[in-house]
């Protein structure tokens, strides 16, 4: 068997946390002498970092793994690995082991640092290696091969204690556990020294950061610490839960100059009945009061959200409540999902599952409504001059640069490579529902 493996490909599904994990995997592979390769046909090591939150992501993994059988026959020395949230659950793991026997290595979200030893074990034995860590690990010191030279994700906590009835994350990622503020601040200071300008603090529910620490530290207190780090220009965070969105956090957003005027605040449903069935632990009225406070205290704030369509028992009246919520809030961005059964969650056992055709019809009505609102919100930016962090060159036009405003709006404009990584002022001259156009001033 030929073990001179040189090229690797990582296919990542799911949230920013998964993408952050893939950056760690990339670093580990490159320390072993691998080089990144986008073409599966040319790769010697293929790894799927999986997501279990939505059924579509899970099915895609199964489909792509099946398609690799022929490639594995042609290149028997190639190693195929699967990791991520899917592998933390017994059913998905058992499916991979029994039906996809060309997969060589399986590991979970909590033992990424052991990947080099897993590869070595597979090389020496030729056997399928399955290694799943059940204990919570937060202070993972695995270095990171970051995808972007001046924008970075920083994990501040893992796990979730909310147990929403539709969500598999607590079962895949475990209970909430927070990193110490010292380790977070040291990581961000190191990033600042390396020229990073924008930091996104990550957690399944960043608002509950610090509850496992002794002494306890609140998330707004952590934001204040990060805000004081020289060199960092922008601070973002994902994801917030409405039940933990405190006045202290809103005041911190209003007063801390580096914290961007943007928040992702999933409401999932506009119906109090459905929210109760989802175990979201807040009401429609509470959520709207949070939005009122945010708009009042943080001028020009932009808002994004997650919405689930077709949760079990959702009536037309419940769905109309969701539509009215969208109109009342006026979101700048939003992510909409058809409810999908996740085995192991309480919602999977609920009666009154909604037929797919009903979910699809409601979904279309929702996105039609949201896209109109996005269009009008972007139209309000016409004539304004906005600060943009230039992220790179457009994939569709080498003469066009792309970047994000503090409100996380995507902007396209003409400029040179010298502008990449800089904060520039852009006058907005055009728009559609999803992006702005402008010119540097």
Q: Parallel, antiparallel, or unpaired: how do β-strands 333-338 and 7-12 relate?
A: unpaired
> Cβ–Cβ contacts within 10 Å for residue 418, how many?
8
CA gap 270, 156 in Å, rounded: 30
Reference 54, options 87, 14, 96, 110; nearest CA is: 14
Query: Which residue in this structure is represented by tokens 């699967």?
Result: 82
Q: Parallel, antiparallel, or unpaired: how do β-strands 129-131 and 177-178 relate?
A: unpaired
Q: Specify which residues 129 forms β-bridges with.
A: 105
Annotated binding site: 15, 51, 85, 160, 164, 167
Q: Specify which residues 390 forms β-bridges with.
A: 403
State which H helix or E strand residue 98 sits in.
Answer: helix 90-99
Annotated binding site for [4Fe-4S] cluster: 15, 51, 85, 160, 164, 167
Q: Specify which residues 155 forms β-bridges with.
A: 202
Rg from Cα positions in the chain: 22
Contact 409, 438 (CB under 8 A): no
CA gap 104, 110 in Å, rounded: 19
Classified as helix, coil or strand, 303 is strand
Contact 177, 136 (CB under 8 A): yes
Reference 208, options 163, 248, 245; nearest CA is: 245
CA gap 174, 227 in Å, rounded: 29
Query: Which residue in this structure is represented by tokens 């080099």?
Result: 116
Contact 422, 195 (CB under 8 A): no
* 5, 24, 26, 137, 219 from 29: Cα distances, Å: 10, 9, 5, 21, 33
Half-sphere exposure of 441 (CA within 13 A, CB side): 12
C-alpha dihedral sign at 425, 376, 298, 272: negative
CA gap 372, 374 in Å, rounded: 5
* Helix/strand/coil percent split, the chain, to 5: 40, 20, 40
Contact 16, 238 (CB under 8 A): yes
């Amino acid at each position: 068997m030929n073990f001179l493996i040189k090229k690797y490909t990582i296919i990542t599904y799911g949230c920013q946390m998964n993408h952050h994990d893939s950056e760690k995997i990339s670093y580990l592979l490159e320390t072993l002498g691998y080089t990144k390769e986008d073409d599966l046909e040319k790769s010697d090591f293929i790894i799927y970092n999986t997501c279990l939150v939505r059924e579509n992501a899970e099915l895609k993994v199964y489909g792509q793994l099946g398609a690799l059988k022929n490639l594995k026959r042609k290149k028997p020395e190639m190693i195929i690995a699967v990791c991520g949230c899917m592998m933390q659950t017994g059913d998905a793991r058992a499916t991979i082991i029994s039906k996809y026997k060309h997969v060589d290595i399986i590991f979970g979200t909590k033992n990424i640092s052991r990947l080099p030893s897993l590869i070595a074990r597979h090389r020496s034995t030729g056997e399928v290696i399955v290694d799943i860590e059940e204990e919570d690990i937060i202070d993972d010191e695995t270095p990171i091969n970051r995808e972007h030279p001046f924008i970075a994700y920083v994990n501040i906590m893992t796990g979730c204690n909310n147990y929403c009835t539709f969500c598999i994350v607590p079962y895949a990622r475990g209970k909430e556990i927070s990193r110490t503020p010292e380790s977070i601040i040291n990581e961000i200071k190191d990033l600042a020294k390396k020229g990073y300008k924008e930091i996104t603090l990550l957690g399944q529910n960043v608002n509950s950061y610090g509850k496992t620490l002794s002494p306890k530290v609140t998330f707004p207190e952590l934001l204040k610490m990060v805000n004081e780090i020289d060199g960092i220009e922008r601070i973002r965070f994902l994801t917030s839960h409405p039940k933990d969105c405190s006045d202290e956090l809103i005041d911190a957003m209003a007063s801390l100059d580096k914290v961007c005027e943007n928040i992702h605040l999933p409401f999932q449903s506009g119906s109090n009945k459905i929210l109760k069935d989802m175990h979201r632990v807040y009401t429609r009225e509470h959520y709207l009061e949070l939005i009122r406070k945010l708009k009042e205290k943080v001028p020009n704030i932009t808002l994004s959200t997650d919405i689930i369509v077709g949760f079990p028992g959702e009536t037309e009246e419940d769905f109309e409540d969701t539509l009215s919520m969208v109109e009342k809030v006026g979101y700048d961005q939003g992510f909409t999902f058809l409810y999908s059964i996740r085995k192991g969650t309480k919602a999977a056992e609920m009666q009154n599952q909604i037929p797919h055709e009903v979910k699809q019809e409601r979904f279309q009505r929702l996105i039609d409504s949201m896209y109109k609102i996005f269009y009008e919100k972007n139209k309000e930016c016409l004539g304004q001059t906005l600060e943009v962090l230039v992220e790179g060159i457009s994939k569709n036009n080498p003469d066009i640069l792309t970047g994000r405003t503090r409100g996380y709006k995507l902007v396209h404009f003409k400029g040179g490579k010298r502008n990449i990584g800089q904060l520039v002022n852009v006058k907005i001259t055009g728009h559609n529902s999803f992006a702005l156009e402008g010119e540097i001033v």
